[in-house]
Structure 1
Amino acid sequence: MTDTWDVEALDLDAYLARIGQSATPPSAEALAALHEAHVRAIPFENVDPALGRTPRLDLASITAKLVRRQRGGYCYEHGLLFAAALERLGYEVSRRAARVQPHRNGPRTHMNLVVTADGVEHLADVGFGAGVLRPMPLADGAVVDQAGWKHRLVRDGRLWTLAKETAEGWEPLHAFDDQPQRLIDYEVYNHYTATHPDSPFTGRLVVMRLDHGISRKLIGDTLVVERPDGSQESTPVTDRAEALRALDVVLTDEELAALEA
């Protein structure tokens, strides 16, 4: 099915250089290294929807934006890019869709992946708001430390739920099943996410970065820094361009001016 996703449009060497990795044979260890490198190198950001633009999901456009321009993107861009790279490297990949905040009747708009490595299926989730640093074995009750925050997978029939440990207990993040998606499905989800007034990614800037022991989020004009111990700092941003540079989001002068406007 590689023709369906046009994975040959990806410049694999440029992508690997972007995330600081080299091509190695498929394995669970190599998958974990690629996953973490991708999350740490490529920002999660919604600059285009914040400016009233709908991101394009063809792989050539994603490569031009996230790889060559050193921009970031949101889940569809991250997921389609990572899936193509994995398939070019020899991994078996299934593209999925998840319902965000299923306990609060959230929408089914998130793209994630199920990737087979060393004969084991793993959840790969490079585009979930920079919240998942490493892949997780697709096993009921599996718990993986994600940069200091514990995450757990629970299975109920065909449904898998990813949850994050908080002071109040396990908070469901998203839920997905075993139904593979097509590109047209993501085009539909993308249209809603980039244009609907109820989408969290329209009308305000959202940038998220994750590293070991620290999560940084720029929401509108507020920078929020969180740590695994539950501490949190919120700081008003007076220089948006400087804040974006600190979060590794590289914009043109025209894009910065449009954001200010």
Structure 2
Amino acid sequence: MPDTAKTVNTTTRPGGTEVWHSDDLDLDAYLDRLGLPHTAPSAAALSDLHAAHVHAIPFENIDPLLGRSPSLALGDIADKLVRRRRGGYCYEHNLLFAAALEQLGYDVHRQAARVQPDHPGPNTHMNLRVRVDGADFLADVGFGASVMRPMPLTDGSERDQAGWPHRLIAEGAGWRLDKLTDGMWETQYSFDATAQYPIDYEVFNHYVATHPRSPFTGRLVVMRLSEGICRKIIGGDLVVEHADGPDEHRTIEPDQLGETLRSLDLDLSPAELDLVRERYAGTE
């Protein structure tokens, strides 16, 4: 059983913060995108930053759907998610969030996770361990529409995530994130504290953005989470999940795609929308 009170060992973090070029981020522009002021590091401020990021920036796979590998250079991520007000997937979200946290004075450790380890899924997801106020937290603004606020990294800790309970379980040298679904705990992913290098995420990103078996290359995926409601485009369907009621399903016709994307806070340019609509129709 791991020591649930252990601190982050920053000496294992490859190259320290400078290797991640965190200072390249325009922090003011990022905070403006979130609608938040500068605040000193604290567990409460971390929670507010995490929730504001999830509310403001969509999860989406438009670039991989169109055959493009998203750039993981911090400047490119910021241009896409902050200036152009697009969304992205886990690497883009969590690399951006990690850089902002480091500029604000948080101790951040970048990690990898295995999605659906019972199957098992690939060990390609990115999440973060953040140390503040003498405690470690799991932070993950890039896991689709799942984690609204950071979770204390202690065995058995539970947190309501916008209406869906989640828990962390210590397993050997690592951890497991579970979600309560229909009265049963379902494992979302497993992870440990192994240090990751930028090149690791480049390799993961290449697989996730290009492999034909990746869930992000063959169908449109857009996800938005708010209190009590989760809205998703999965392939050709709009799924609306309610924390306290039945799900709704609706097929999206190609001519409804632009309006549906805008309802999920993705307002694409006409050229981008035409490309997505063409690819979308081709997957029906």
Counterpart for residue 243 of structure 1? 260
Counterpart for residue 6 of structure 2? none
Counterpart AA for 1:182: Y
Counterpart for residue 52 of structure 1? 67
Unaligned runs of 5+ in 2: 1-15, 279-284
Listed as ranges, the matches of 1:73-222 within 5 Å are 73-222=88-237
Inter-partner Cα distance in structure 2 for 1:247 and 1:260? 16
**Larger radius of gyration between Structure 1 and Structure 2:** 2
Inter-partner Cα distance in structure 1 for 2:155 and 2:245? 26
1:34 aligned to which of 46, 49, 62: 49
Question: 2:233 is paired with a residue of what secondary structure?
Answer: strand
Inter-partner Cα distance in structure 2 for 1:211 and 1:192? 30
Inter-partner Cα distance in structure 2 for 1:250 and 1:114? 32
TM-score normalised over the length of structure 2:
0.91
Unaligned runs of 5+ in 1: none
Question: 1:104 is paired with a residue of what secondary structure?
Answer: coil
Which ranges of 4 or more aligned residues in structure 1 deviate by more than 6 Å? none
1:68 aligned to which of 83, 97, 100: 83
Q: Percent identity?
A: 61
TM-score normalised over the length of structure 1:
0.98
CA deviation after TM superposition for structure 1 residue 117, in Å: 1.3
Tell me the number of residue pairs that the alignment of Structure 1 and Structure 2 aligns.
261
Residues 228 and 244, structure 2, Cα contact 8 Å, conserved in 1: no
CA deviation after TM superposition for structure 1 residue 133, in Å: 0.1
**More off after superposition, 185-194 vs 1-10:** 1-10
Counterpart AA for 1:258: L
Residues 114 and 121, structure 1, Cα contact 8 Å, conserved in 2: yes
Superposed CA RMSD in Å reads 0.8
CA deviation after TM superposition for structure 1 residue 175, in Å: 0.3
CA deviation after TM superposition for structure 1 residue 102, in Å: 0.5
CA deviation after TM superposition for structure 1 residue 168, in Å: 4.7
